[in-house]
Amino acid sequence: MATSSFQTSWLAVALVVVASGITLAPPRAEAARAFFVFGDSLVDNGNNNYLTTTARADSPPYGIDYPTHRPTGRFSNGFNIPDFISQRIGSEPTLPYLSPELRGQRLLVGANFASAGIGILNDTGSQFINVIRMYQQLDYFRQYQQKVVALIGQERTRKLVNQALVLVTVGGNDFVNNYYLVPYSARSRQYSLPNYVRFLISEFKKQLMRLHDLGARRVMVTGTGPLGCVPAELAMRGRNGQCAAELQKAASLYNPQLIQMLKDLNKKYKSQVFIAANTQLTHNDFITNPKAFGFISSKVACCGQGPYNGLGLCTVASSLCNNRDQYAFWDPFHPSQKANRLIVQQIMTGSTKYMYPMNLSTIMALDSRL
């Protein structure tokens, strides 16, 4: 017994040494590919902390399950989708572009330009006052590259950007915080829903082309989630716990057209630059069968108030669940850390139904051969 337990612990020590050797040997910033993030609150990791805006997640209980147990600006109880992607590509989390810590070698890890409240359109989220709209996120990306050029020169910067992984998550707010924000909104008087969706897709296409012009060559683009099924909509619009029909219709019109637009762009560039991540499907899986994922509820938010905990903001005064991992939704709009982990699991290894034309593990295998 003694021998065997000695052997076990020796083995454990050996494994620790090997494992730490692997993680510590190359400087991390150089080792992993850079990662850039654009979009809204689903992927903002703290830019809005630096802005005068009401769209913020910088007070408790946000961040309660983050390693520091403090709010970070992420709209999650802990990690968000970009964090789990950074972990999967072997990188440290990207810093918010507005963070004063984003300088020197840390620039080489990449950057997060996302800003809660924004949409594809400039008029989306105008009630949040000062947020970083998509055109400005892209301007910042250009500015970021100038800083990196000063650090490592033109040629290496071009390579860093071309070889980087990019995530774009935007579009939900163009419905929730624009078209459907108030009855008879300006956009809903201007466009029928099908025409509004076509308009969004055409504007989004221009932004993605600009991203390509700026050097991005591997861009994962997520569709909207099941917009009508989030706790906020169940509380405000749903009937007897059913998802809000008009928002579900919007998502079902938008997502297929998004995939088609990405296919068209890939054809235009003669390369698989754009990858469609069908996060709606992943999310639908949670909603149709929460127990299969260890959730006791995919309707009730962990943090909030009122029916489904879906009303108002998540604050210290809210009702808060005990075990955050049992809830698909952390607050009335945003997935929990556990749900984010599962979404990234599908991004990594999902079939073509979830990731078109390929998943992130395939992308990484392909790109490592270049």
Ligand X SMILES: *[C@@H]1O[C@H](CO)[C@@H](O)[C@H](O)[C@H]1NC(C)=O
Is 331 in the active site? yes
Q: What is the DSSP string of 200-255?
A: HHHHHHHHHHHHHHTT---EEEE----GGGSHHHHHHT-STTPPPHHHHHHHHHHH
**Residues 321/61, Cβ–Cβ less than 8 Å:** no
Is 40 in the active site? no
Which has the closest alpha carbon to 254: 324, 342, 179, 148?
179
Under the binding rule (CB under 6 A), the answer on residue 178 touching ligand X is no
Which residues from 341-360 bind ligand X, rule CB under 6 A?
Answer: 349, 351-352, 358-359
For ligand X, give the closer residue by CB, 65 or 139.
139
For ligand X, give the closer residue by CB, 146 or 351.
351
For ligand X, give the closer residue by CB, 41 or 124.
124
Identified catalytic residue from 83, 174, 285, 331: 331
DSSP state of 333: S
What is the CA angle 358-97-154, rounded to 5? 75
**Residues 80/42, Cβ–Cβ less than 8 Å:** yes
Tokens read off for 185: 């909104």
Identified catalytic residue from 44, 297, 318, 334: 334
- The binder of ligand X chosen from 122, 130, 260, 288 (CB under 6 A): 122
Calculate the alpha carbon distances from 208 to 76, 179, 215, 264, 313 in Å. 27, 22, 11, 12, 32
CA atoms of 233 and 245, how far apart (whole Å): 10
Number of amino acids touching ligand X (CB under 6 A)? 11
- The binder of ligand X chosen from 15, 135, 186, 269 (CB under 6 A): 135
For residue 352, the cross-strand partners are none
Please state the closest distance from residue 51 (CB atom) to ligand X, in A: 17
Under the binding rule (CB under 6 A), the answer on residue 185 touching ligand X is no
Q: In sequence order, which residues have a C-beta less than 8 Å from that of residue 110 and are 6 or more positions away?
A: 34, 35, 36, 37, 91, 94, 164
Is 334 in the active site? yes
Tell me, residue by residue from 281 to 320, as one string, x for binding to ligand X by CB under 6 A and - for no binding.
Answer: ----------------------------------------
Tell me, residue by residue from 188 to 227, as one string, x for binding to ligand X by CB under 6 A and - for no binding.
Answer: ---------------x------------------------
Give all strands (DSSP E) within the chain, no chain letters: 35-39, 110-112, 165-169, 219-222, 274-277, 303-304, 319-320, 355-356
Under the binding rule (CB under 6 A), the answer on residue 131 touching ligand X is no
For ligand X, give the closer residue by CB, 248 or 345.
345
Identified catalytic residue from 41, 86, 91, 115: 41
Which has the closest alpha carbon to 83: 333, 277, 338?
338
Q: Which residue has the tokens 């861009």?
A: 219
Please state the closest distance from residue 15 (CB atom) to ligand X, in A: 24
Under the binding rule (CB under 6 A), the answer on residue 361 touching ligand X is yes
Please state the closest distance from residue 121 (CB atom) to ligand X, in A: 6
Please state the closest distance from residue 358 (CB atom) to ligand X, in A: 4
Under the binding rule (CB under 6 A), the answer on residue 20 touching ligand X is no
- The binder of ligand X chosen from 121, 166, 168, 208 (CB under 6 A): 121
Under the binding rule (CB under 6 A), the answer on residue 23 touching ligand X is no
DSSP state of 34: P
Please state the closest distance from residue 207 (CB atom) to ligand X, in A: 8
Q: Which residues bind ligand X (CB under 6 A)?
A: 121-122, 135, 203, 349, 351-352, 358-359, 361-362
Residues identified as active-site: 41, 331, 334
